[in-house]
Amino acid sequence: MSHTRLALGSALLMGLLVGAGCNSGSRSTKAATVAPTTSATTTPTTSTTTAPTTTTVTTTTVAWDTPYTATPAIQNDSLIALHLLAPDQILAGSPLGQIQLIDLAAGTVVSEGSYGSVSAFAAVGGNVFIGTGQPFFMQGGQGEVFVRDAQGNYTVSLDHPLTAITVAALGNDVYAFASNYTGNGDAATVSQLTANAVAWSQDVATLPSCQINKAVAWRNEIWAAGSDNLLSGGLRLFRGTGANFTEVTGLPSARTPNSANELQLVTDIQVINGELYISTVVTDPTVGNVITGAIYRSFDGSAWTTVATTPNDSPMAIAQHQGTLFVGLISGAVQSVDSTGTLVADTGVPTSTGAMSMIEVDADTLVVGVRGTAGAELIRRVTTVATTTVATATPTTTGTTTGTTTAPAMPAITYTADVKPILVARCTSCHSGTSLPAAVAGYPLTITNDTADYAETVNRTNPQTPDASLLLTKATGNAHGGGAVLTVGSAEHTTLIQWIQGGSVR
Ligand code: HEC
């Protein structure tokens, strides 16, 4: 087995992660200003002279900054996995094994130590499980799962003979997927730690000839995605619980058919608006370069839609924010998918050589873990909305205009004024409270914390197809434990659709 072959699979992915970047240049933190939108409006007039009218102008400003830069900087390190530990508190893991606790509100950073190459975080109760690996650049030792307790103490939870582990939680269970990135067709294995067990049930299932890159809980199962553990191969996806995992077939592919030098890997897997999203990259494993990337989604795990493709670039992380899918790319770009499905570059993104991980902190804040020009950095996108009242020019009406009126413009539908009252009237009887059944708690509402409720609600909207939003399909009784609480076509249902169409304004 040659050294080239060692640079396979997620080790290859790691090669992308720690490989030399090609971008350099100054960091820019300029603010992008979105054109002001005018809500409210002229009153109908019937006389020839009218009193000056005031207009409320809402200005939305998006600005990026860099709340964390690794010191000392380790060249080519990045933040590859992020976990929201508490509001404004982020656990950030790097491919070179560093874990930081970044407090965005306090502006503090605490280094929590050095572990294996971090792949993913999975929270159960007050514990956070951390899947790590020992890829070729870390001597290829054992894959390990660490557990961080609520006090911030770390212990080894699982030592595994295979070199890399990724983790995911399903309810109170933790699953660890261990892989060996040899390119020899080696199998991956599944290990499980159930809620009250002291020890792991190791290797309860075997996933033949594959490597697992990422896993997530969806529809009461774990979905684990990766690729063939070969020099050239396609995507692999498994679903299941306990020892019963089955392969999901029929995934789309961005590979050239029958190509001998193309391996398609999984870079991220997320549940967004009730659908499963997978971001992928096609690489040439002999030289390690990116050929193309693609993002797919499915509402049922069998029918798949291509959300976007990224020629010559790789999507590394995906997240929903402000009703839009955001994508972080290996080129350092951060893009969002517009209403026509086209990827649009965000402006003012600080320069980096790879946008590797991403999470929404709250409705106005998205953070991206990057490979900064010197080392690991966290960059942040903050949206601020300012409202000002200005006097507008008097609309002049000539002649006698008895009975002629200007139709009032439709006032913007907002979360606070229009959507929240519907949720309080129709949803919170079941969806808020202290000891909700787990399934209902999937959509938790507090009534008192608008920021949290707004974020949970926007996360269940589908801006491309508003009436297909999980928020509405559930509310109208489509596979909903609460039955039909809204009627299609009712005033409340129409308001929710118009709110999503209008951009889910806070
Ligand atoms: C009578 C109780 C009840 C009411 C009222 C109710 N729900 Fe639910 N809801 C449930 C139950 C039970 C579940 C869990 C089972 C399921 O997924 O259907 C659920 C699940 C959901 C989910 C999926 C959970 C997730 O993870 O995203 C959404 C979304 C949802 N409800 C939206 C709504 C909305 C919106 C309203 C109000 C317009 C509403 N519900 C009102 C009982 C209710």
Considering only residues 9 and 164, tell me which one the structure prediction assigns the higher pLDDT. Answer: 164
Calculate how far, in angstroms, residue 431's C-alpha sits from the geometric centre of ligand 1: 7
Query: Residue of the nearest CA to atom 34 in ligand 1?
Result: 475
Q: Which atom from ligand 1 is nearest to the alpha carbon of 492? A: 38
pLDDT given for residue 51 in this prediction: 56
**Dihedrals phi, psi of 425, to nearest 5 degrees:** -75, -35
> pLDDT by residue (tens digit) across 437-474?
777 878 989 888 898 899 999 999 988 778 888 998 89
Highest mean pLDDT among 29-43, 100-114, 125-139, 480-494: 100-114
Name the pLDDT band for 6 (thresholds 50, 70, 90).
very low
- pLDDT-based confidence at 491, cuts 50/70/90? confident
- Measured in angstroms, how far is the CA atom of residue 468 from the centroid of ligand 1? 15
Atom of ligand 1 nearest to the CA of 274: 27
Pocket of ligand 1 (CB under 6 A): 426-427, 429-431, 439-440, 442-443, 460, 470-471, 474-475, 479-482, 485-486
> Tokens standing for 254?
């961005």
pLDDT tens digits, one per residue of 91-119: 999 999 999 999 999 999 999 999 999 99
Residues 6+ apart with CB under 8 A from 262: 232, 255, 256, 282, 283, 284, 291
Atom of ligand 1 nearest to the CA of 426: 37
What pLDDT is stored for residue 325 in this prediction? 96
CATH 2.130.10.10 residue ranges for the chain: 3-25+60-385
Q: What atom of ligand 1 comes closest to residue 479's alpha carbon?
A: 18
| Ligand 1 atom 2: residue of nearest CA | 482
CA of 158 to the centre of ligand 1 (A): 36
Nearest residue by C-alpha to atom 36 in ligand 1: 427
CB-based contacts of 429: which residues, under 8 Å, 6+ apart? Answer: none
> Mind listing the pLDDT tens digit for each residue in 245-262?
999 999 999 999 889 899
- Residue 339 CA to ligand 1 center (angstroms) comes to 27
Does the structural domain 3-25+60-385 have CATH classification 2.130.10.10?
yes
- Could you read off the pLDDT of 269-309 as tens digits, one per residue? 999 989 999 999 999 988 889 999 999 999 999 999 999 99
Which residue's CA lies nearest to atom 31 of ligand 1? Answer: 474
CA of 453 to the centre of ligand 1 (A): 14
Which residue's alpha carbon is nearest to atom 41 within ligand 1?
427
Could you tell me the distance, in angstroms and rounded to a whole number, from the CA of residue 11 to the centre of ligand 1?
41
Rounded average pLDDT over 124-143: 86
Q: Are strands 275-284 and 263-272 parallel, antiparallel or unpaired?
A: antiparallel
Higher pLDDT, 141 or 125: 125
Among the residue ranges 1-15, 162-176, 446-460, 471-485, the one predicted with the least confidence is 1-15
Amino acid letter, residue 123: A
> Is 36's pLDDT higher than 80?
no
Nearest CA to ligand 1 atom 3: 482
Between the alpha carbon of residue 258 and those of residues 151, 253, 255, 313, the distances in Å are: 51, 11, 8, 21
Q: What is the pLDDT of residue 73?
A: 85
Per-residue pLDDT, 100:
97
How many A from CA of 486 to the centre of ligand 1? Answer: 11
* Protein residue with its CA nearest to atom 37 in ligand 1: 427
